Amino acid sequence: MPIWFELIVLLLATYAVGFGIGWAIWGREHKGAD
Amino acid sequence: MQELAQAYWPYFIIALLIGIAVAWWCFVALRRTRVVTENNDVLDEGAAPAARNQALIDAPPASFLAAEPEDVAAPAPPAGSYADDMTRIKGVGPKLVTLLKDLGITSFAQIAAWDDAEIDRIDSKLGRFEGRIRRDDWVTQAQLLASGDTGAYEDRFGKV
């Protein structure tokens, strides 16, 4: 696998993790106890 | 992969922050503005508007303040007559009943007493129903219905 491809995949994964963190903070309507 | 992470860690931090920023934009910035309406009670503005509203509620219906009938020549219903079901006259439907009522005609006896001049007078006020009186011979129908002669009525005009 080319190195740039791997880099892009990792960056996208990191972006998705960041989006997930943002969703957990602001996106959930019912923020009750899990 | 580890080498990549170590070599490009600033970019990963940036990607993480971009993800968080996009999530914020999606879930916070794009949310519709909540309109907060204040439920203004009329009494908040003082008692005057409430008092005015109450006066309007207590006022007698406008029909009591109706002006004089515009056509003074219109015959008043004969003493002792009561409203008949005008739709029994063939050719008279609910709209015509309302129209006739507005003209002060509510009984068969009234129509039965019409002469040609009166027919013309009323006919001119019927609008799109003009010509119906003679076409459907309301006068004869009314005379038979007023007298209660259903046999003669049915012979001439069909089932009551």
Q: Which of B8-17, B74-83, B117-126, B141-150 has the lowest mean pLDDT?
A: B74-83
Residue segments in chain A with a per-residue pLDDT below the cut of 50: 34
At B11 the pLDDT is 92
Residue B16 C-alpha, separation from nearest chain A C-alpha, in angstroms:
4
In this model, does residue B84 exceed pLDDT 70?
yes
**pTM (2 d.p.):** 0.40
At B45 the pLDDT is 64
Q: Which of B42-46, B103-107, B111-115 has the lowest mean pLDDT?
A: B42-46
DSSP B96-133: HHHHHHHTT--SHHHHHT--HHHHHHHHTTSGGGTTHH
* Cβ separation B22–A27 shorter than 8 A: no
A20 touches chain B (CB under 8 A): yes
Q: Which residues contact B103 (CB under 8 A, 6 or more apart)?
A: B71, B74, B122, B125
A25 touches chain B (CB under 8 A): yes
In this model, does residue B23 exceed pLDDT 90?
yes
Q: Which of A7, A12, A22 sits opposite B20 (nearest CB)?
A: A22
In this model, does residue B154 exceed pLDDT 70?
yes
- A-B contacts (CB, under 8 Å): 64
* Cβ separation B21–A22 shorter than 8 A: yes
ipTM greater than cut 0.95: no
* Cβ separation A10–B21 shorter than 8 A: no
Average pLDDT, whole number, for chain B? 81
At B21 the pLDDT is 94
Q: Using the CB atoms, write b or e for B79-89: b if 16+ within 10 Å.
A: eeeeebebeeb
